[in-house]
Chains A and B, each alone.
Chain A
């Protein structure tokens, strides 16, 4: 069966510090991978998605970047965090090549920038 792992679960970082959140998927090959952000009490905003190694599409201009160094690894990064980067970050995967596949989410990382 497929599983998705995100870490860390919680993170407190000062403004201006770098960020690296990691996500890995097991049990499937060449998944489509996604990063979402959720502000407190709000919906999910799509940040990045990837259809393969090294292929990243950005949905919104921002202080963040994403990379996919391996087939089942997706990393969210920032060189210098802003207060507005605080939120709940969710990684997700779907089966490639079809629109009829639900997102499967990890348990998220709660990021607080102080």
Chain B
């Protein structure tokens, strides 16, 4: 069945270092991938996305890498800051009829050491 999973449930990073959060997906039909950030008590916020015809996309301090061969997705956060502390979810999207079906992974909690 469809699934999106994360290799590491928790990640502790020194402030200023780079963070890498990994994700595996299983559905070859997925054509769009998204990373979300969720702070405590709030809804997930969009961070960055990537289409299946790309293997890398950069935003402000964040980079998403997509390896379709091994069905792997990663989120890199440069110069991690205390405000980056949150749970991060990857999600894969499959288009069914006229609706996108978006399946989330279980999440990785990122904590920042001062």
Q: Which of A1-56 contact B (CB under 8 A)?
A: 32, 34, 36, 42-44, 46, 49-51
For the complex, would chain B's binding face be called helix, strand, loop or mixed by DSSP majority? strand
Interface residues on B, range: 20 to 34
Nearest residue (CB) in A for B91 is A103
Q: Report the bound CA distance from A87 to B108 in whole Å.
A: 19
Does A101 have its Cβ within 8 Å of any Cβ on chain B? yes
Interface residues on A, range: 20 to 34
Q: Which residue among A44, A98, A105 has the maximum number of chain B CB atoms within 10 Å of its CB?
A: A44
| A-to-B contact residues, CB < 8 Å | 32, 34, 36, 42-44, 46, 49-51, 57, 90, 92, 94, 96-108, 110
Q: What 3 A-B pairs have minimum CB-CB distances, sorted nearest first?
A: A105-B43, A99-B95, A43-B106
